[in-house]
Structure 1
């Protein structure tokens, strides 16, 4: 609970409940209002959390003194139904061990070897879209299916395209359940057969059957010469005990990568296509640059990516306006002092990308789509903790380079063949679960270029 000595501004909110009802309903409008009215450090009553969006303070929390700001066990327990006890939720030595094992699969050299997988998956999506020209499609759903297939093939050498919709639907159920646990004042225990609990148990059972099926198939066939992430995990041995990862540990890591490995990129891509459709001059620059690089319409290669700057800037700008995660949770181990503020030890903290990325002091005209913000000239001098789509510090998202690589390839190759247009006046309905998304997706008219 905040003390009066902190001098940190706070809204009143509802009696006893504070701002908890608004957080449960949709935190994005609430965060925008709080940071506009109270500044870059705000206490949120009812959820007993400090909202932080001041870059230098964020740097202290995520980098300079990161050992004093840990993942909250209480918060991570509430998130674990959606993402398991893997890289996203672990702390301390278990996290360091898992990160060391995963790093080789996400190196630039490893991701470069995924070129053929990405090209093939995108080419197959193009064939499917050719047959649907003239239709209105859910671009968010289309991108989820495409990025899920890519991540499963790259990291697990597994193709479950026939079950993609089933996986995505059940991952969404787990996300909603975790958000319910996170912001509800008194969520009912899982064993009580409420509708939410039954939906969660069914979704978890379906995903577990898929994941344990992947693990069982690999154990049966052996790793052989596979160099994917699953092979690395299954061959890893604990230096102290000499034991490998259990099926349950493997399940948690695969759940992490199922969700984080496709959902954030898919939403970023959907928002990119939406924003480009609203800004024809930006779309024209993407087209002109790509056509100059690819000539007669050939596939994108790794060597082309450094020349497709405007496609990359457009994706980065979409992630600024619609950051994949709206906030990162930490718990302070010691008292934190910043200017006139004091945040007590043991406090819950939200490092808030939603507010950072839309702060007019950091980003002039922040609501406007300007991919040029990410050119070298305009990026110079910008505080490096003003833009955190994939986090920062030691816990920066391990898949950031993979996400950016596949996004550039997808944007270039799909816009090479198609146009995506939204209806005049259409705006997606934003919601924040574990990730920022549009509900029920972003609807756009598909046509051939």
Structure 2
């Protein structure tokens, strides 16, 4: 196997990278997720925009080269995720959109695309608003503290939102933060980040003899039984109605909104309905992808606003001007928060929800005179890509005006890709942006965000980019006069 890797060392001799060792490759360099963000961010300065790396005995290229990204994001031979995704999530997410490939991925992507149609997204504004009220209550309770880890509270909010949206079911974790379903999801995410960097846990046959594996199986039982129970209940309900219109009324007489699960329940592939297990995989994928990534984005945006009061003032003025005080908020209102959207985009530039993600080469191709062989891993170093001074002058400065139409036109279109791009771009990015704007607008309406003296996030790249010491701000409730 090392000879196999060594072949690529020879093949990539024109590409620089850190020294690799037999068997372990660069394991000792990248084993600590608390240091990985800084280590990977140093790669472009040390080795150039494309760095060669060995994860164990598997060759990889880590890149911020927009020309290479043009190939990675658009090639039909580069749509598959790396084996890391399968290793970490296959028992939980199965063949859901995140890790499926080939015809199954294409068929399910086609089925799910209508779930993000404007008319369906319009219905979710009510969910954002109703769940947002609980969020503000929880933030108000915490506002007496000098340092509030808002990430934890936003995680509860986003899980409530995605459960309502994906399954049409209220979990109410904001009122019950110790909910066993919430605990199980957190456990699965922690296990994934632990396995990713530990060679004992990476080996599947060794992993199955560990206590961590037993913990995973127990958490999976909680998650799958919860999801399958809701799916079966909803399937029976729809069948009892004998109706093709799922936008009717539920058993309590309330108008039922179309959910992601409803679309899956009513869909067929080659004339056959999806099984409960196939639906569970997709629903759980939505819960996983739409929960922690969104809460991290909201949290880092609030942190950036606390550090940039002049920007926060402009956001507050826009929110007061655009959002109506005397009627329900609509999707058009949220979309009209144009400056807030630029603020969110700038925050996602500095703190993308996923700092590094990978693709695997399905068919050999040549790039820049170098053969990139089948099974080669290509990692997109998003954190560093978004800080490339060639595309973003003074990259550490928080400046939302980078995202005016004029400024965006000056950059390469792949210089900024927080929701990925090409064939496997994030299917839920419009949903996510609406949720982000709705939540942050509510926070700014009700609180002035202040920096915590001496606090700096200790960035760590686990499954998502987060902070080992929380994402913290000081919350100063606005007076009634200010809210008017």
- After superposition, residues 298-377 of structure 1 pair within 5 angstroms as 300-377=329-406
User: What residue number does 1:51 align with?
Assistant: 62
8 Å contact from structure 1 (residues 327, 350) kept in 2: yes
Does 1:220 pair with 2:249? no
User: What residue number does 2:164 align with?
Assistant: 153
Give the Cα–Cα distance (whole angstroms) in 1 for the partners of residues 386 and 184 of structure 2.
30
Q: Match of 1:222, SS?
A: helix
Counterparts in 2 of 1:344 and 1:193: CA distance versus 1, 3 Å: closer
Does 1:95 pair with 2:105? yes
User: What residue number does 1:9 align with?
Assistant: 16
Q: Which moved more, 1:115-124 or 1:11-20?
A: 11-20
Does 1:38 pair with 2:38? no
Does 1:127 pair with 2:156? no
Counterparts in 2 of 1:168 and 1:371: CA distance versus 1, 3 Å: farther
Q: What is the aligned-residue RMSD (CA, Å)?
A: 2.2
Does 1:107 pair with 2:117? yes
Q: How far did residue 425 of structure 1 move? A: 2.0
* TM-score normalised over the length of structure 1: 0.92
Q: Match of 2:268, SS?
A: coil
8 Å contact from structure 1 (residues 234, 245) kept in 2: yes
Counterparts in 2 of 1:272 and 1:184: CA distance versus 1, 3 Å: same
User: What residue number does 2:268 align with?
Assistant: 237
Deviations 1:226-279 (A, max 9, x none): 43211111122221xx33222221221121011101211110000000011011
- After superposition, residues 64-83 of structure 1 pair within 5 angstroms as 66-72=75-81, 74-80=83-89, 81=91, 83=93
Counterparts in 2 of 1:131 and 1:355: CA distance versus 1, 3 Å: closer
Q: Which moved more, 1:267-276 or 1:6-15?
A: 6-15
Q: How far did residue 191 of structure 1 move? A: 6.9
Aligned residues: 445
Question: Unaligned regions of 5+ residues in structure 1, if any?
Answer: none
Question: Unaligned regions of 5+ residues in structure 2, if any?
Answer: 248-257, 479-484
- After superposition, residues 15-30 of structure 1 pair within 5 angstroms as 16-26=23-33, 27-30=36-39
Counterparts in 2 of 1:321 and 1:84: CA distance versus 1, 3 Å: farther
Give the Cα–Cα distance (whole angstroms) in 2 for the partners of residues 230 and 306 of structure 1.
25
* TM-score normalised over the length of structure 2: 0.86
